[in-house]
């Protein structure tokens, strides 16, 4: 079994009234995500002089396994075309991505990782995975599986009950 929570530390969700069960759950989940994301952002900045949005951008290109249109990249990352253009400009200047126009439609631009970009992303991804593993190091395999099952049920509940109201 994993380590017990720090007995002396009382967090906001624990301090919330017991009657507000759903709010306490939301705050606990949000706190965990925020803590991990803050650590990842810091580690990316210190180790690679980069940002989480740049890492996510490169991850989307790596996962695609080939060029993506700027629009497709924007949709996959759920950010505006303007944000994608700005990140693309900077990564292109650094030689980490290459941009080219579609031969069929000159208005359509594709982007892909360069050899240097792929090499850098693989190094970042390896460290990123280690940072995530470190965050969950106190959980044993059974606890991770239990948490995955509970989060799957949570995700299904959220999807079902927020359907039609912007959920997903």
Give buried/exposed letters for 25-56 (b at 16+ CB in 10 A, else e). eebeeeeeeeeeeeebeebbeeebebebbbbe
Q: What is the mean pLDDT of the chain?
A: 90
pLDDT at 20: 82
Instruction: Give me the mean pLDDT over the 110-129 stretch.
Output: 98
Proportion of the chain above pLDDT 70, given as a percent: 86
Instruction: Give me the mean pLDDT over the 121-149 stretch.
Output: 97
Distances (CA, A) of 156 to 9, 23, 26, 79, 149: 31, 18, 15, 24, 11
Instruction: Give me the mean pLDDT over the 150-165 stretch.
Output: 88
pLDDT tens digits, residue range 43-87? 999 999 999 999 999 999 999 999 999 999 999 999 998 899 999
Residue pair 91/54 in contact by the 8 Å Cβ criterion: yes
Domains assigned to the chain: 18-154 (1.10.10.10)
pLDDT tens digits, residue range 100-111? 998 888 889 999
pLDDT at 1: 47
Q: Is 2 left (phi over 0), alpha (psi -120 to 50) or beta?
A: beta
Verdict on whether the full-model pTM lies above 0.85: no
């Amino acid at each position: 079994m994993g380590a017990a929570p720090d007995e002396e530390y009382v967090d906001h969700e624990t301090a919330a009234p017991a009657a507000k069960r759903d709010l306490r759950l939301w705050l606990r989940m949000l706190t965990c995500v925020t803590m991990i994301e803050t650590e990842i952002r810091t580690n990316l900045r210190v180790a690679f002089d980069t940002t989480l949005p740049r890492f996510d951008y490169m991850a989307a290109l790596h996962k695609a396994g080939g060029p993506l249109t700027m629009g497709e990249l924007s949709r996959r990352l759920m950010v505006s075309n303007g944000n994608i253009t700005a990140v693309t400009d900077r990564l292109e200047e650094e030689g980490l991505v290459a941009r080219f126009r579609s031969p069929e439609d000159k208005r359509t631009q594709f982007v892909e990782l360069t050899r240097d970009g792929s090499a850098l992303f693989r190094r970042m991804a390896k460290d990123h995975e280690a940072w995530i593993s470190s965050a969950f190091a106190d959980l044993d395999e059974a606890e991770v599986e239990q948490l995955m099952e509970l989060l799957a049920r949570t995700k299904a509940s959220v999807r079902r009950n927020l359907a039609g109201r912007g959920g997903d």
